[in-house]
A and B are shown apart, each in its own frame.
Chain A
């Protein structure tokens, strides 16, 4: 059995009276220590799926287990990084991280918690910004604090929700490579599920990429393995011939899997083409 296993999960939201099915029957398996990215367009239901996997919301149907245990709320050995950093603005970087350590290890003494927090911040290059508040930090530095906070608790499973979406290209490149190193190196690689709409980012970081097929309801496509050696760098992806082939395969498979039938921003009506093809089936 896989470390993280989701079996036939679906989710609907009631919007203006009629429930709208956002996620169809979705199944996903993530092995221990594996980095899996779910790639899909904006509004396709990626965040809904991540919330379900992380135990922030409950599915209408289906089961989710992590390490053999059914999900019931947020696990203590799980950590998150969100696009909007989600730091407490009145605390310093150090206090923000220590708070997470306290939540995960309340039995540890305060001074020890501070030491863990300091070490985590040093790991992401923020050793000289420990006592600054989020408002005094750049976007990239805030996201580093959020990453330090996630890793400070030594999580077994990590959920990343568009972690680099709000950053400029240069900062994004650096942080992606650093995150990849933190996730996959060391004595115990963390099991990671990331959602993103950035294909390059998914290729750089993932062991497998799962395309999210737009709906509604959205479903998951066949996983695409990214068989590239680690540590990976953007330079490797740019220059290595094998990497070009792996990348080319991933990009064309993804592009083919995720082609949206509609671009309307309004709630899509029942798909006429589905109705028509169903009718055509009956005629035959």
Chain B
């Protein structure tokens, strides 16, 4: 039985005036049901490209994403995404923003059911008191909470997060990480999160996929995060292996991220592009 979410030989080539640019090359990964995976790498290494292809917003040039044995070719309600910026519709209240998504989700919902779902998910992420405010009236952190509620309201099997907290100050970031962790630990969702924050990845994820620098970015290393669940920040930071794990990731980013490995795909690629 294969994993429910697979990246197989995922490669993305962008055409440029100076010839083809291989952004991401031969990314392979299997993600288990209910797993929390973080994709970590320097900015510009192609992390977001991988996530866009996962979301079905972009197509791979070679290889691709397989969910339950079917290739992903377009966005679908079993996958919801939270971007770096909240991307809420500014003329709709927080509640209405979530409601729009809830009505288009995996479960067919009536207007009343969507409204109830919106209330539920806003409550879940702890922002129900601002439900009737417009996004511009809310702080960035609160907007991002609404954005998370919107993604959850689709009832996705896969929650895709593209640096969701990187625009926030460190205290707000802590708060939203705690919210996400709590929501995820109480559900059976699979999460794929792109981040460049080592501590965030270690706090939240089961497994880190470390990407080498682009061009031709690929999976450089995989780290299994050993901290027991349910996790607390103090528990993770105080864990005996915390330093070793953090050190491992930082060493990778500082010394190994730029060493791309030769791949069996090389010959195929060069004939393809």
A255 in contact with B174 (CB, 8 Å): yes
Answer whether A263 and B250 are a contact pair too, CB < 8 Å, given A197-B170, A248-B237, A255-B233: no
Answer whether A264 and B130 are a contact pair too, CB < 8 Å, given A39-B171, A199-B171: yes
Q: Does A40 contact B (CB under 8 A)?
A: yes
B169 in contact with A198 (CB, 8 Å): yes
Query: How many whole Å from A134's CB to the nearest CB in chain B?
Result: 26
A42 in contact with B139 (CB, 8 Å): yes
Query: Which of B7-15, B49-57, B240-248 lines the interface with chain A?
Result: B240-248
Q: B114-142 interface mask toward A, CB cutoff 8 Å, 1 = contact, 0 = none? A: 00000000000011011001000111011
Cβ 8 A contact of B130, one of A197, A238, A245, A263: A263
A197 in contact with B142 (CB, 8 Å): no
CB-CB under 8 A from A254, the residues of chain B are 171
Q: Quick one: which of B195-247 are within 8 Å of A by CB? A: 199, 233-234, 237-238, 242-243, 246-247
| A252→B238 CA distance, assembly (Å) | 9
CB-CB under 8 A from A260, the residues of chain B are 175
| A263→B131 CA distance, assembly (Å) | 11
CB-CB under 8 A from A244, the residues of chain B are 242-243, 246-247
A248 in contact with B171 (CB, 8 Å): no
B250 in contact with A256 (CB, 8 Å): no
Q: Quick one: which of A230-247 are within 8 Å of B by CB? A: 238-239, 241, 244-245
Which of chain B's residues has its CB closest to A201's CB?
B170
B174 in contact with A241 (CB, 8 Å): no
Q: Which of B142, B199, B237, B246 has the most CB of A within 10 A?
A: B237
| A245→B250 CA distance, assembly (Å) | 16
CB-CB under 8 A from B247, the residues of chain A are 238-239, 241, 244
Query: How many whole Å from B51's CB to the nearest CB in chain A?
Result: 21
Query: How many whole Å from A166's CB to the nearest CB in chain B?
Result: 13
Q: Does A86 contact B (CB under 8 A)?
A: no
CB-CB under 8 A from A274, the residues of chain B are none
CB-CB under 8 A from B169, the residues of chain A are 41-42, 197-198
A251 in contact with B237 (CB, 8 Å): yes
Query: How many whole Å from B235's CB to the nearest CB in chain A?
Result: 9
| A40→B199 CA distance, assembly (Å) | 20
A40 in contact with B171 (CB, 8 Å): yes
Q: Does B172 contact A (CB under 8 A)?
A: yes
A248 in contact with B126 (CB, 8 Å): no
Which of chain B's residues has its CB closest to A259's CB?
B175
CB-CB under 8 A from B129, the residues of chain A are 262-264
Which of chain A's residues has its CB closest to B138's CB?
A265
| A196→B174 CA distance, assembly (Å) | 15
Q: Does B145 contact A (CB under 8 A)?
A: yes
**B: interface residue count bin:** 20 to 34
Query: How many whole Å from A240's CB to the nearest CB in chain B?
Result: 9
Q: Does A67 contact B (CB under 8 A)?
A: no
CB-CB under 8 A from A263, the residues of chain B are 126-127, 129-130, 139, 141-142, 145
Q: Which of B234, B238, B242 has the most CB of A within 10 A?
A: B234
| A39→B174 CA distance, assembly (Å) | 13
Q: Quick one: which of B81-137 are within 8 Å of A by CB? A: 126-127, 129-130, 133, 137
Q: Which of A238, A259, A262 has the most CB of B within 10 A?
A: A238
Q: Does A20 contact B (CB under 8 A)?
A: no
Q: B162-175 interface mask toward A, CB cutoff 8 Å, 1 = contact, 0 = none? A: 00000001111011
Q: Does A129 contact B (CB under 8 A)?
A: no
Cβ 8 A contact of B137, one of A252, A258, A265: A265
Q: A158-197 interface mask toward B, CB cutoff 8 Å, 1 = contact, 0 = none? A: 0000000000000000000000000000000000000001
Q: Which of A40, A41, A245 has the most CB of B within 10 A?
A: A41
Cβ 8 A contact of B139, one of A40, A198, A265: A265
- B residues engaging A (CB < 8 A)? 126-127, 129-130, 133, 137-139, 141-142, 145, 169-172, 174-175, 178, 199, 233-234, 237-238, 242-243, 246-247, 250
- 24 pairs across A/B with beta carbons < 8 Å? A41-B169, A41-B171, A42-B139, A42-B172, A197-B170, A199-B174, A238-B250, A244-B246, A244-B247, A248-B237, A249-B237, A251-B199, A252-B234, A252-B237, A254-B171, A255-B174, A256-B233, A258-B171, A263-B126, A263-B127, A263-B139, A263-B141, A264-B130, A265-B139
- A residues engaging B (CB < 8 A)? 39-42, 197-200, 238-239, 241, 244-245, 248-249, 251-252, 254-256, 258-260, 262-266
In the complex, given contacts A41-B171, A248-B238, what are 16 additional A-B residue pairs having Cβ atoms less than 8 angstroms apart?
A: A40-B171, A41-B169, A42-B139, A42-B169, A199-B170, A241-B247, A244-B246, A245-B243, A249-B237, A251-B199, A254-B171, A255-B234, A258-B171, A260-B175, A262-B129, A265-B142
